[in-house]
């Protein structure tokens, strides 16, 4: 018996209309049931404000550089906090999310997700999309995201990343991480993927890697387009004494032609030109203004015919898209490394060298890069950052976020980082490993209840946001503390964080007196109920910036709630019911109040339809997109018909008239039609 036989005529019509709507809006991309079972940690942020609590006893200090950060807690809450502290400040995000293999590898709403769950792909996509949405806001304009994945969710992840990062380039690298392979009934999988996501603006984002075997060849160009006339700036002399390069000569005038490949100068030096053995004028591979960048890789050689030539040694190359090397073995350089350091077994850690190479190709030249991993697991990313710093004396910093399920953070992540920083003896053979150095601050996430008393909520958040401000400024050393203010210094004592928690009070004069003693940059945070602070209060203070708290924190959190929590249908129907009473039920018809309510309903309905069809209701600057623009976008992708689009425009105008008090611009009959139009939209789009 078909399940549809039990449906009423009205139910079948509603189902058919829903399917028509979905088919009309289908486009290339990823569609899944994103609202069937919303994620609780996301809803936590609707009525609670995430904060950080510093665990002072876990602080690690070995030098005067800035501190690395480890955050224990749900990564959604941690990312929410970081959207205040590090928005557009992250150079590289590297993540190794759960692969959704179906072997109880991760939980959704505190329950393991298994293949028997018909929505286990949807739940994984829900979890990933929410985090990628807010992580994207942390990346700098030239920031890069790297995401590890295997065959279970590769296809879905690729489409999801294309959706979240529409103007970015996606490249996938195949990495052989298990040479032995995973046995199965069909193929034996021995590889996984690293997806590199970076701006598609034509600039270079993927750097060079060291060649296994250095390649030496002539600096002179060969083959097609290698003539002097193909690139005039690539024809110039390289001056030598016969052994070393003395200088790079200038590009000659067009009608100057050297008599031979080697010409002797008046000072006894020799000019080498890019002329081939037949006497044809060619060109060097590098132009005159860029050849100095590879000068260290050039050398003079004497050919068999006695002429001097210039050779170039290639030590680097662009990374290939298939990585095969013993160093990527996750067992040898992942599981074994974790066990040697922590004496703990950890499931499926990445090879340290895999992560190191992934980071190196995008951050090798960024020696002060900030690297974020919000699926930190055993802490491999932090370890890799410290190893990179050791190689090139860099000052990169990491921010790691992980939960503490099965005591992962306390028993694996933190001990590993602590030992790698300070040094340790390997479990097993007792080999002593020197510490890589660095500093670490440890935090746990917590929530503040968002009460109906907004003033009290502001006071509560101000009292508990200090650790967030410390993370934002990377300043942690407490110098002065009273009931009303705190002052912190950086590790080099050249920057200061000054926080005043109270209303303007007698204690402010003491705060100001302490600030004036400080010699260095000062970042001042002042409590304010109205979101404003007076810079004039700090007359006589030099080298400072001032910012109010906590309104900016609240604003950031509100944006994220709107971004990741769908417009609620009950909000729509609450206003719709109000409009019904005002327009149809009440004895004294209120066309103006009804039109105002219907305007709210229509705007929320269009936003809801946009979200259901993968259209963001936010601009790039995180502000809500105008409803008229959403209406146009939904028509352009054929979600709205031409008639629906036109009627939306008509009734949005009536709603605007009502909200601005232009009541004579419409009548009750038009408001009644306004109501019926929305009713039709709600039915057609199954809201």
pLDDT mean by block of 10 residues, the chain; 687 residues: 68 69 59 70 86 97 97 96 97 96 77 79 91 96 97 95 93 96 89 97 93 92 94 97 95 96 96 96 96 93 95 93 96 95 92 97 96 97 98 96 94 97 89 96 93 84 95 98 96 97 88 95 94 88 94 89 74 85 86 91 90 75 82 90 92 92 91 92 85
Q: Pinpoint the alpha helices (H) of 518-619.
A: 551-564, 569-580, 591-612
Does residue 98 sit in helix, strand or coil?
coil
- Residue carrying structure tokens 């309903």: 601
pLDDT recorded at residue 8: 76
pLDDT of residue 567: 67
- pLDDT score for 455: 84
- Which residue spans of the chain are classified as CATH 3.40.50.150? 40-205+321-442
Q: Supply the DSSP symbol for 582.
A: I
CB atoms within 10 A of CB 33: 13
* CATH number for the domain formed by residue range(s) 463-557: 3.40.1350
Architecture in CATH for domain 40-205+321-442: 3-Layer(aba) Sandwich (3.40)
Helix segments in 98-188, DSSP class H: 120-136, 154-164
What's residue 40's pLDDT?
A: 82
Look at residue 587 in the predicted model and tell me its pLDDT. 77
Over the chain, what is the mean pLDDT?
91
Domain with CATH 3.40.1350 in the chain: 463-557
Give pLDDT, residue 632: 93
Q: How many CA atoms lie within 13 A of 105 on its CB side?
A: 18
Which part of the chain has CATH 1.20.120? Answer: 3-8+566-684
**Nearest Cα residue to 98 out of 547, 405, 514:** 405
Question: What's the pTM value of the predicted model, to 2 decimals?
Answer: 0.81
Contact (CB, 8 A) for 631 and 586: no
C-alpha to C-alpha distance for 348 and 80, rounded to whole angstroms: 27
What pLDDT score was predicted for residue 621? 63
Pairing of strands 432-434, 440-449: unpaired
For residue 209, give every residue at least 6 positions away whose Cβ sits within 8 Å of its Cβ, in sequence order, or none: 316, 317, 318, 319, 357, 360, 361
Question: The sheet that has 397-402: what strands, in order across it?
Answer: 48-54, 440-449, 68-72, 397-402, 370-373, 90-95, 139-149, 191-199, 168-176, 322-323
Pairwise CA distance, residues 161 & 135, whole Å = 12
List alpha helices for 26-55, DSSP H: 40-47
Axis-axis angle for helices 591-612, 627-636 (nearest 10): 50
> How many other C-beta atoms can be found within 10 angstroms of the C-beta atom of residue 310?
19
User: For the domain with range 3-8+566-684, which CATH number is right: 1.20.120, 3.40.1350, 3.30.1370, 1.10.3470?
Assistant: 1.20.120
């Amino acid at each position: 018996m078909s399940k549809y036989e039990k449906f009423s005529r009205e139910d079948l019509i509603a189902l058919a209309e829903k399917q028509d709507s979905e088919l009309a809006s289908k486009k290339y991309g990823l569609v899944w049931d994103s609202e069937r079972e919303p994620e609780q940690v996301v809803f936590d942020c609707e009525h609670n404000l995430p904060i950080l609590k510093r665990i002072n006893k876990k602080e690690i200090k070995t030098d005067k550089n800035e501190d690395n950060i480890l955050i224990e807690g749900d990564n959604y809450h941690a990312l929410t906090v970081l959207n205040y502290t590090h928005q557009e400040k992250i150079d590289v995000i590297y993540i190794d999310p759960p692969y959704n293999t179906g072997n109880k590898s991760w939980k959704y709403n505190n329950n393991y997700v298994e293949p028997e769950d018909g929505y286990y792909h949807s739940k994984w996509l829900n979890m990933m999309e929410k985090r990628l949405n807010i992580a994207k806001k942390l990346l700098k304009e030239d920031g890069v995201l790297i995401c590890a994945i295997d065959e279970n969710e590769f296809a879905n992840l690729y489409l999801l990343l294309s959706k979240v990062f529409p103007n970015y380039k996606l490249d996938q690298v195949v990495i052989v991480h298990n040479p032995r392979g995973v046995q199965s009934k069909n193929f034996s999988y021995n590889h996984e993927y690293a997806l590199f996501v970076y701006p598609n603006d034509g600039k270079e984002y993927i750097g060079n890697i060291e060649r296994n075997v250095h390649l030496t060849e002539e600096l002179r160009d060969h083959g097609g387009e290698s003539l002097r006339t193909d690139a005039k700036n690539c024809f110039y002399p390289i001056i030598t004494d016969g052994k070393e390069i003395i200088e790079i000569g200038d590009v000659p005038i067009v009608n100057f032609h050297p008599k031979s490949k080697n010409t002797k100068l008046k000072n006894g030096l020799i000019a080498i030109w890019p002329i081939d053995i037949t006497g044809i004028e060619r060109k060097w591979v590098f132009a005159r203004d860029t050849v100095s960048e590879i000068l260290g890789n050039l050398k003079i050689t004497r050919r068999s015919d006695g002429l001097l030539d210039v050779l170039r040694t290639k030590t680097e190359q662009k990374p290939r898209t298939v990585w095969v090397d013993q160093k990527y073995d996750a067992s040898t350089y992942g599981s074994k490394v974790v066990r040697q350091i922590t004496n703990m077994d950890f499931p499926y850690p990445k090879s340290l060298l895999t992560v190191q190479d992934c980071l190196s190709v995008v951050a090798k030249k960024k020696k002060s890069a900030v690297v974020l991993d919000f699926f930190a697991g055993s802490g491999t990313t932090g370890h890799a950052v410290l190893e990179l710093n050791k190689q090139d004396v860099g000052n990169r910093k990491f921010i790691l976020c992980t939960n503490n399920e099965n005591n992962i953070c306390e028993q694996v992540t933190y001990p590993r980082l602590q030992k790698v920083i300070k040094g340790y003896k390997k479990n097993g053979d007792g080999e002593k490993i020197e510490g890589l150095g660095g500093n670490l601050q440890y935090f746990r996430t917590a929530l503040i209840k968002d009460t109906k008393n907004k003033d009290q909520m502001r006071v509560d958040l101000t009292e508990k946001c200090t650790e967030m401000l410390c993370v934002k400024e990377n300043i942690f050393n407490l110098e002065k503390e009273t009931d009303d203010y705190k002052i912190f210094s950086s590790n080099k004592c050249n920057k200061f964080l000054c926080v005043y928690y109270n209303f303007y009070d007698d204690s402010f004069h003491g705060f100001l007196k302490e600030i004036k003693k400080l010699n260095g940059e000062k970042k001042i945070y002042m409590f304010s109920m109205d979101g404003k602070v007076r810079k004039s209060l700090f007359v006589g203070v030099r080298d400072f910036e001032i910012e109010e708290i906590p309104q900016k924190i609240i604003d950031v959190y509100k944006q994220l709630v709107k971004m990741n929590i769908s417009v609620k249908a009950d909000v729509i129907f609450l206003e719709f019911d109000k409009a019904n009473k005002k327009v149809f039920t009440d004895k004294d018809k209120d066309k103006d109040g009804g039109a105002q309510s219907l305007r709210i309903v229509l705007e929320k309905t269009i936003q809801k339809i946009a979200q259901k069809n993968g259209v963001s209701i936010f601009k790039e600057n995180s502000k809500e997109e105008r409803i008229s623009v959403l209406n146009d976008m939904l028509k352009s992708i054929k979600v709205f018909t031409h008639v629906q689009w036109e009627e939306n425009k008509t009734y949005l105008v009536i709603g605007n008239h009502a909200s601005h008090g232009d009541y004579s611009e419409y009548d009750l009959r038009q408001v009644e039609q306004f109501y019926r139009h929305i009713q039709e939209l709600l039915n057609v789009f199954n809201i």
